[in-house]
Structure 1
Amino acid sequence: MTSRGQMALDLPGIDDGPDLASYRWILANISGGKDSMAMLDELVRQADAAGVLRDRIVCVHADLGRAEWEGTRELAAEHAAAYGLRFEVVARTGFDLVDRIAERGMFPDASNRWCTSDFKRNPVLRLMTALVREAEKTGHLGRVRILNVMGLRADESPARRKLRAFSHDGALTCPCQDCLLRRAALESAERRGVPCPKHRKPGHGASNTLRHVDTWHPVHSWSTADVWAAVARSGLRPHPAYADGMPRLSCSFCVLASRPALVRAAQLRPGLAAEYAAIEEKTGHRFKCDLSMAEIIAEAEASPAVTAITNWQG
């Protein structure tokens, strides 16, 4: 452990973090889960230390509908209120996630996580647009600086381990110097008819001519024990799903979850499991290529209740 309560890991982008006072808006993405609880507490602690007024911090919850654990939206609102922070809810227009799966006739998977882009990222981008307009109405001139803060951690998955703790969310339309250089590199490669290395390309992120967006994961290198210690210090109320054995508060049935976690979820939410099984039967598309919801339900009915699931991914 380091002096800042973080694991001493060889992680990309570990630094002192952003200058919080330089942002017009600090957007805290809160899910109601333990990692977002720890993130929110750490963010508020650092913002207070930097003299940032709390009215510049906006908590946002991406509502997935009945795919979420019951009471998640209300719990996220409770967490924001505990710090006196503004709370916004965003959602995809139209169907919730369960109905959208039925409409598409297919479940998300690890290589095609359209659930994240459609139900989280894009609705949050719309909120960023609204916040830019709100700043402009108060007389803000120039691009609006937004810090997008999330509770992603390195030890959750190999993909999250590769994330930088602090980075610019660049894009083709972003006029900052870094994005201009990246765009020039892409154009040069295209003129020469050669591939542009991925690390040199401009991104497809949230920044544009009206807003400069950076992304920060303040608990990126924290361990699970660090997170629970922060939750205990914060006094925030965890979701009951943790006491029921779930290791994470993702969707009740996440396609990235391990078999034991899915079986336990089916024991806790048999009605929703039955909805997913009905979608499988109607569409002919399995919940996971190697595991159907029908199999999960059968195992849940035949297995005793488990008080703690240790592995999330599987």
Structure 2
Amino acid sequence: MIEAPALIIPTDISAMIKEIKSAYAGYVAKFRIPSDHVIVVNYSGGKDSTATLAIAHHLFGDKVRNVMADTDNEHEYTVEYAKNIHQQIGCRPVQLVKRIYSEQDFAKRRVSVQKNWRKRQAIRMGAYRGVVMPSLYASDTKFAEAWRKSAKRWGIDFDTPLDAALSVLKPSGNSFLDAALLHGKFPMLRDRFCTDELKINAAFDQAINPLLEEGEVVVQWSGVRGDESSKRASYARFEADRRDSSFLYNFLPIHKWTASDVFALHKYFGIKPNPLYLEGAARVGCMNCVLCNKEEIAQTAARYPHHIEKHREWEQKVRLVSRWVHWMSVGTFDQSWMRKYSLPLGRAVQLYGLTPEVQNIDWSAFYGTRGGMGAPSVNDVVEWAKTGRGGKVYDLVKASLDTEVCSSRYGLCE
């Protein structure tokens, strides 16, 4: 039997807030931080950052500032919630910042693509290491002839992959999409440029660094909880920030709290949570994060299909700036002729002893590799997300999801 998490009682919350106040005073004294320092809460619209902002304001009032980096891949509920949370807490309005990519950024990328895509390129890692990809500039080669069949399949009309790439390498007006276009791919587990560029750097450049340049000492409060992952559990509760170790510090006030504690604090202060938590969300952030799990994808497809459609449209553009997708899209032809190349010292292409299956990759996949599929489209991933373990049979629970009723996994439904 599944039971809703038990919320702790308000008197415990009061004691936990006192612990934060005492611990913070100790850190301020230990690190010799002046009493007139500035507190900046890193806000996301989620439960943990909301709790952190409420605690900070309760203890320090208008000394506290707050900033949220909008990635342009947020749910509209979250953006609206962030814009109005000050009315519930009584704090300053949240400062919304955003990384804007300029025409100059894209001009620099276009120059790079025009230079490098003209040349053949050896693959440096993976099963295809040592294989040489052809030029994506020439229009009179067998590869270009084969690629134009891909173009027809995609519904576009260009002579070469380079022409196709240059057609979309311009600001779109959406920061998340622009970042993907400039990188030639979507973020991945080992390359989360979305977090670095759209969140961390945007907040620092537009909200925190200006304070540092004015001579302020700043302590960032973040709603990181250790029980979310082993990596987060290893974080120090308080430390100097490497970007400016004499004037910038990081504090994790609720590092040892649970999700139940966080929602108990919402109740303690009379704060209504982000409405996404009443609609099945386990976490609040990008809608969706490229790394989200199977259940989150199924929930989004059922409740917010316009976000799925958004990602499908992004895939169609980002594949045009992916050299790998252009090469792999020609399938059988490409992967048969590549074996004629020899590596240095007369060695034949071994592909690490593998005989790769013939592939026909048409997508720079937003969700990456899922369900054993190499580069599935958003639509393929949504269908897979509706299945049970193993990805073979549809899950009847997911198929019958009632989007009209509260389905909070934190016991928030009344």
Query: How far 1:247 moved relative to its partner?
Result: 0.8
Aligned counterpart in structure 2 of residue 160 of structure 1, from 232, 237, 241 = 232
**2:401 alignment counterpart:** 305
Tell me the secondary structure at the aligned position of residue 187 of structure 2. coil
Q: Provide the C-alpha distance between the structure 2 equivalents of 1:28 and 1:230, rounded to a whole number of angstroms.
A: 17
1:76–1:273 distance in 2 versus 1, CA, 3 Å: same
**1:272 alignment counterpart:** 307
Maintained 8 Å contact 1:108/1:114: yes
**2:86 alignment counterpart:** 80
Output the amino acid matched with 2:41: A
Query: How far 1:86 moved relative to its partner?
Result: 4.5
Q: How many residues align?
A: 250
Output the amino acid matched with 2:379: A
Unaligned runs of 5+ in 1: 7-14, 48-53, 137-142, 171-205
Output the amino acid matched with 1:44: H
| Consecutive aligned runs of 4 or more in structure 1 exceeding 6 Å deviation | none
Higher relative contact order (Cα pairs below 8 Å, separated by 6+ residues): 1
Q: Give the TM-score normalised by structure 1.
A: 0.71
Query: How far 1:44 moved relative to its partner?
Result: 2.2
1:72-109 per-residue CA deviation (whole Å, 9 max, x = no partner) reads 22311322343232431111013421343245332212
Aligned counterpart in structure 1 of residue 199 of structure 2, from 106, 109, 120 = 120
1:255-277 per-residue CA deviation (whole Å, 9 max, x = no partner) reads 23221112112222212212323
Note if 1:285 corresponds to 2:291: no
1:77–1:152 distance in 2 versus 1, CA, 3 Å: same
Q: Percent identity?
A: 25
Tell me the secondary structure at the aligned position of residue 266 of structure 1. helix
Q: Provide the C-alpha distance between the structure 2 equivalents of 1:221 and 1:238, rounded to a whole number of angstroms.
A: 20
| Higher Rg of the two aligned structures | 2
Note if 1:149 corresponds to 2:221: yes
1:33-81 per-residue CA deviation (whole Å, 9 max, x = no partner) reads 111111112222333xxxxxx332111111112x101132231132234
Tell me the secondary structure at the aligned position of residue 71 of structure 1. helix
Q: Give the TM-score normalised by structure 2.
A: 0.55
**2:210 alignment counterpart:** 130
Maintained 8 Å contact 2:47/2:262: yes
CA RMSD for the aligned pairs? Answer: 2.7
Note if 1:16 corresponds to 2:20: no
Tell me the secondary structure at the aligned position of residue 247 of structure 1. coil
Maintained 8 Å contact 2:177/2:314: no
Maintained 8 Å contact 1:246/1:261: yes
**1:93 alignment counterpart:** 100
Maintained 8 Å contact 1:246/1:265: no
Output the amino acid matched with 2:186: F
Aligned counterpart in structure 2 of residue 45 of structure 1, from 35, 58, 61 = 58
Maintained 8 Å contact 2:179/2:194: no
